């Protein structure tokens, strides 16, 4: 069984989700397939803001992430700046390499971003973290400039949107989307055939009419 994981290095939740999924999900029967996507494009398509773009949520998010990391026994530290441009790192993940090297590449890029490293916002920073992990940094950074690799990230993001992905990390199996690192127990239940979601009840929710809209969202005015 293949489970695709939509990820972007800009998200600390994706960092936690990657570590947790590698520990809890991967087995002889389940293969985790990385799917690098551009989180900013997901936000733009859905006309939403990221946590770092909402001042009150920005600081709370960091406290939440620290608590989650502590619960997972992980050490986490912020990158040199946030938000930052993660595109080069995402493109590197899409380069041609073995599955094992792809895992090592993702580990290295996440560690550089959320493990107290130098970040991945510049080509030199990406090169440094890849070389430090024993990976062919120069070759990967050069390959990442290939138009086909750049297009792969766009195609991944387009596919993710078509599947209903709106945030990272998201785990996709059989076109079913599980959002967030905290959804992994729900994904595990789904894979065992123990998903409690009733399709009929879900359809009633999907068909439920909208009774009100907030001002500014659809032009509705208070009565």
Answering whether pTM is above 0.85, one says yes
154-178 pLDDT, tens digit each: 999 999 999 999 999 999 999 899 9
Cα-based distances in Å from 19 to 102, 141, 175: 14, 24, 23
Q: What DSSP element (H or E) covers 200?
A: helix 199-206
Distance of alpha carbon 72 from alpha carbon 16, whole angstroms: 8
Q: What is the pLDDT of residue 27?
A: 87
Q: What pLDDT does residue 105 have?
A: 98
Pairing state of beta strands 2-7 and 176-179? unpaired
Backbone angles phi, psi at 73, to 5 degrees: 75, 25
What pLDDT score does 195 carry? 95
**Whether pLDDT at 133 is above 90:** yes
Give the pLDDT of residue 217: 57
What average pLDDT does this structure show over 6-32? Answer: 95
Under 8 Å between Cβ of 5 and 31: no
Averaged pLDDT for residues 185-197: 95
For residue 216, name the pLDDT band (cuts at 50, 70, 90): low
Q: pLDDT band at 219, cuts 50/70/90?
A: very low
Whole-number pLDDT of residue 223: 43
Q: 47: phi > 0 → left, psi -120 to 50 → alpha, else beta; which?
A: left
Per the listing, tokens 């709106």 go with 166
Mean pLDDT over all residues of the chain?
94
Distance CA(178)–CA(165), nearest Å, equals: 9
All structural domains of the chain = 2-197 (3.40.30.10)
pLDDT average, residue stretch 54-74: 96
For residues 181 and 69, give the distance between their C-alpha atoms in angstroms, rounded to a whole number.
Answer: 11
């Amino acid at each position: 069984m293949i489970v695709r994981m939509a990820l972007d290095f800009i998200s600390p939740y994706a960092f936690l989700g990657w570590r947790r999924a590698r520990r809890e999900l991967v087995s002889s029967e389940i293969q985790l397939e990385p799917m690098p996507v551009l989180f900013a494009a997901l936000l733009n398509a859905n006309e939403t803001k990221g946590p770092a773009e909402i001042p009150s949520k920005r600081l709370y998010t960091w406290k939440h992430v620290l608590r989650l990391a502590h619960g997972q026994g992980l050490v986490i530290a912020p990158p040199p700046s946030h938000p930052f441009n993660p595109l080069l790192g995402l493109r590197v993940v899409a380069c041609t390499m073995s599955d094992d090297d792809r895992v090592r590449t993702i580990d290295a890029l996440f560690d550089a971003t959320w493990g107290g490293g130098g970040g991945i916002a510049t080509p030199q920073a990406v090169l440094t973290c890849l070389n430090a992990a024993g990976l062919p940094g120069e070759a990967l950074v050069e390959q990442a400039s290939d138009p086909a690799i750049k297009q792969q990230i766009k195609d991944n993001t387009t596919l993710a949107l078509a599947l209903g992905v709106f945030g990272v990390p998201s785990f996709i199996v059989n076109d079913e989307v599980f959002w967030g690192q905290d959804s992994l127990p729900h994904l595990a239940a789904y894979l065992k055939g123990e998903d409690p979601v009733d399709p009929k009840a879900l359809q009633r929710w999907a068909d439920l009419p909208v009774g009100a809209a907030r001002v500014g969202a659809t032009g509705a005015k208070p009565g």
